[in-house]
Amino acid sequence: MKLALFDLDNTLITGDSDFEWAQFLIEKKALDRELHEARNLEFYEQYKAGTLDIHEFLDFQLKPLSRHPRTQLETWRREFINKKIKPLIAPGTQKLIENHMLDGDLCIIITATNSFVTAPIAQVLGISNLIATNPEEKDGEFTGKVFGTPCFREGKIERLEAWLDQHNLTWLSFLQSWFYSDSLNDLPLLSKVTHPVAVDPDETLKKHAVENDWPIISLR
């Protein structure tokens, strides 16, 4: 058996779904532009620089989910996927996924972005397995807090290993494993797989890939 792991933001799609979701809510006037737009940009720059405090960011990013009924959020999400995300799917994404599926590989999207935003994106891409940061829920509504370990940096390894354990699998279950990512934040998980692949990488990841003779590809 072989394992194929895919980061989502700026890897399979040519943008960041976390960032775009916040901008979409600002456009919908669900968030105040003056209060949230600059902060959203600030967190995005921190993420790209590898300095993001994930808990501070999640407090910012998940709070809006608690301010609106689930039905309203789901209505907005459908519009968001169609208008904002589908146009961002990288041209080479479907072929890459199809190649791994044709080989019978276990395909998983593993992303720091919360599962409310990313679950329908995974469905659009045809991948049924998703490991993402989970927003806490109570009685079917969001509390604005995170549930469990955020799926970020070393947390991706923790969450992946927990997922494998739930499915009676371990790293030793796989003869080969791939992880496709654009980000320096994914270096911990990239270093765990047998085939790390840098996809349209940031400068830090690109330098690391060159030094370690990792493949560098573009899906754009």
Tens digit of pLDDT for each residue in 48-57?
A: 787 878 788 8
Angstrom distance (rounded) from CA 53 to CA 46: 8
What is the pTM for the complete model shown?
0.94
pLDDT, tens digit (0-9, with 9 covering 90-100), for 179-202: 999 999 999 999 999 999 999 999
CATH number of the domain enclosing 24: 3.40.50.1000
Domain span holding position 100: 2-217
Residue in this structure with the two tokens 């989502």, named with its chain if needed: 8
pLDDT, tens digit (0-9, with 9 covering 90-100), for 145-154: 999 999 999 9
**Count of domains for the chain:** 1
The token duo for 149 is 């370990």
Identify the helix (H) or strand (E) that includes residue 54: helix 54-62
Work out the number of other CB atoms within 10 angstroms of the CB of residue 115. Answer: 17
Q: Using DSSP, state whether 48 is helix, strand or coil.
A: helix
- Give catalytic residues, as residue numbers: 7, 9
pLDDT grade, residue 41 (50/70/90)? confident
Angstrom distance (rounded) from CA 182 to CA 127: 19
Q: Using DSSP, state whether 194 is helix, strand or coil.
A: coil
Q: Give me the percent of the chain exceeding a pLDDT of 70.
A: 100
Q: Give me the percent of the chain exceeding a pLDDT of 90.
A: 79
Burial label, 14 (beta-carbon count in 10 A; 0-12, 13-18, 19+): middle
